[in-house]
Structure 1
Amino acid sequence: MAPVRYTQGPRGLYAGSKLETTAKGWVVVAPESASKVNKEVHAYLPTWNKDEHYEPYKFHEYHDPALRADPSFPNLLANAETKNISPKLGTEIKGVQLSQLSDAGRDELALLVHQRGVLVFRDQDFVSKGPQHFVDYVKYFGNPHIHPTSGRPQEIANIHVVLSGDTKEDPYNARTNLVGFHSDVSYELQPPGISFLTVTNLPAGGGGDTVFIDSAEAYNRLSPIFREKLEGLKAIHSAVNQANGALSKGSVVRRHPVENAHPIVRTTPLGKKVLFVNRGFTRRIEGLKVEESDAILDFLFDHVAKAHDLQIRANWEKNTVVVFDNRIVNHSAIVDFDTTESRLIARASAQAERPIGDLKDLNKPAESHLFEGPEYLGNKLEDLKLA
């Protein structure tokens, strides 16, 4: 059988930055490219090490801090200035320093982000406090997730870092559209819930917003009959393509890829119904034939991607931190910035509950399913020529 050929994505999206390998085997951003990123955030520059490996995640109970929160938000919003980005999704907040919140305030933060989906906080000190503080803060909301393939700060495994730009290549030389809506690592047995996202280096010319979709309202928009048909169905979410993409670029896979079945209609611990599918990682519906599954999933993917009245854009400014609930929103980067410049974004996320359709199944133990099929390049690298 002829070898499968894999191609790299556009450099404007995944970075054209030059890399080099240290004496200890770490792949790091070369000085020439690092010089294009603000010196004060060099601690967040991405690194990779092919000797870094982790066991697959195992089930653990999750207890949502939002369930402890005071719904009047006395510790979070007492002195805050708030502005809704849209009536149902997204709120911009000023006058709150996240790092100074008490435990009660952080419980209220968990509740508010569940209610609003996306919270945009201005004038935060997260970046200046460094990567370790970033991860320590996220630990309050759950176990900080380690991404299986992305760049990470050299000293901290639990931060996902994406450096994009730094290239003269046209990012649209092979594609007319680079929008890629997804729920982060939804293939995990327990995907992240509360996530903290910040841009540490902004292109001077502007652009590079992040678009979010309200997956709860996407579910509500469906007809009662269609919602009823979706209840009880499960879809397979797969890490294989992401792992193969990393291997095809000569990058790392820190954890063997998994495929897990999650309900298409997810119920959060607070009882919110959510359409839990995304084009990035959802592959097929269990129990349906290929054509049947494709027809339903394609409709649902288009439903959320094309409905601009379900979406907001989070506009980045220096020292902005976006908190979002990965269970109830999809998101995508927007590559509309000058990709000769560099954009460095960092995310730390807390694992949440195993996705369930019914609250009676909350914290019911389950096992993650490793993918062992021939499609995974990691099983046959010696037989392939990758480009």
Structure 2
Amino acid sequence: MSVMNAGPPTALREARVPEGGMYEGVRVLRRLPEGAPEQPYDLFRLVPLGRTIGAEVRGIDLTRSLPPALRAEVNRALLEWKVLFFRDQHLTSEQQRGFARQWGELETNPLLERGSSEDVVRFDKGGGAAPTFENVWHADVTFRRRPALGAVLQLRQVPPVGGDTMWADMAAAYDNLPQSVKDRIDGATAVHDFIPGFARFYPPERLAPLQDRFPPVEHPVVRTHPETGRRLLFVNASFTTRITGMEREESDALLRYLFQQAHVPEYQVRFRWQPGDVAFWDNRATQHYAVNDYAPHGRVAERVAIAGDRPF
């Protein structure tokens, strides 16, 4: 059988996409620090919900103080999976505070609505409530010198449809940056300020008295996790305003690119709430996004946050 001569290859027309965007491709999805061994969990059952982030913990009653060995194993799970979910706990506010206190001093936040005590924040979204503090990827209180170590959130009222929360793994986000971008941000710092995140919802007269209490702070663009040693992308769209030492246009373009990294599905986990469920996340290693898609139904949540350390 004869083979027809295919001739010279057909030339393709010139085509390009804008530089600086995010495109398809294989991503490195590494849950543990490089070289860290896999270890079993002996004191509870752990059910992964994502490749690198998010796991459900079964067989623990959070209404009781955790014995030291169990607390250590839960902490290891938190470091490995970045956000842990505990179903059907129905904690009182005091029990929720007690669980969180096992990880450190609790944080207060005068910018958010208070629950039963000054260190409990209550998000009460009735059918007609304004869509505040939702629909944006962020890490909590990075405008503080010591941003929160983590947070414990419980849903008390859940809408029949919608109202999920998503978390993104910022170690995976850093791992997959092009080397050219890593080189640009290595050693860089960025300014964080509470005003951009809250000015969308509060009038100036409510924010102005807090300006002296919360002045702008600088944090590394890439922080090192104090327990795992992982490098983590540490800028977010709610509070990071500029990269130190860069011209505004260059800083804005680079920050937009870095903010986009939280949007990659492979780095995310999405949780569908039921009343009484609890989420415990590592604020140093993640960003989160509360999905506001549940109107006209209500959604009520309470959160306590654990004070952290100075990023390095």
TM-score normalized by structure 2?
0.79
- Structure 1 residue 257 displacement after superposition: 2.8
**Contact preservation (8 Å) 1:160, 1:346:** yes
Q: CA deviation at 1:168?
A: 8.7
Mapped to 1, the partners of 2:305 and 2:137 lie a distance apart of 17
Map 1:1-387 to 2 at 5 A.
77-100=41-64, 101-126=66-91, 130-153=92-115, 155-167=116-128, 179-203=135-159, 205-245=160-200, 247-248=202-203, 255=210, 256-270=213-227, 271-305=229-263, 307-337=264-294, 339-356=295-312
Residue 179 of structure 1 and its aligned partner are, at CA, apart by 2.2
Q: Which runs of 5+ in 1 are unaligned?
A: 1-70, 172-177, 357-387
Cα contact 1:148–1:253 (8 A) shared by 2: no
Does structure 1 conserve the Cα–Cα contact (< 8 Å) formed by 2:90 and 2:275?
A: no
Distance 1:225 1:168, change over 3 A: closer
Instruction: Give yes or no for contact 2:196–2:238 (8 Å, CA) kept in 1.
Output: no
Q: Aligned partners of 1:345 and 1:184: how far apart in 2?
A: 16
Separation in structure 1 between the aligned mates of residue 222 and residue 90 of structure 2, nearest angstrom: 37
Superimposed CA distance per residue, residues 236-261 of structure 1 (whole angstroms, 9 cap, x where no aligned partner) = 11012345456419768885332110
* Distance in 1 (alpha carbons) for counterparts of 2:58 and 2:205: 42
Counterparts in 2 of 1:236 and 1:303: CA distance versus 1, 3 Å: same
Match of 1:51 in 2: none
User: Is the Cα–Cα contact under 8 Å of residues 200 and 318 in structure 1 kept in the other structure?
Assistant: yes
Residue type of the alignment partner of 2:247: K
C-alpha contact 2:62 2:99 (8 A) present in aligned 1: no
Distance in 2, matches of 1:113 and 1:245, equals 32
Deviation of 1:118 after TM superposition, in Å, equals 0.9
- In structure 2, relative to structure 1, the CA distance for the partners of 1:141 and 1:254 (3 Å cut) is farther
Instruction: Give, in whole Å, the separation in 2 of the partners of 1:206 and 1:226.
Output: 39
- What is the rounded CA distance, in whole Å, between the counterparts of 1:201 and 1:250 in structure 2? 31
What one-letter code is carried by the residue in structure 2 that aligns with 1:152?
R
Deviation of 1:199 after TM superposition, in Å, equals 0.7
**RMSD, aligned CA:** 2.3
Which one has a larger percent helix, Structure 1 or Structure 2? 1
C-alpha change, 1:272 and 1:251, in structure 2 (3 Å) is same
Aligned-partner SS, 2:63: helix
Identity of aligned residues (%): 28
CA distance in 1, matches of 2:106, 2:224: 22
Q: CA deviation at 1:104?
A: 2.9
SS in 2 for 1:190: coil
Q: How many residues align?
A: 269
Say if 2:190 and 2:220, in contact at 8 Å, map to a contact too.
yes
Q: Quick one: structure 1 residues 197 and 354, their matched pair in 2 at CA, closer, same or farther if it must change by over 3 Å?
A: same
CA contact (8 A) 2:144 2:214 kept: no
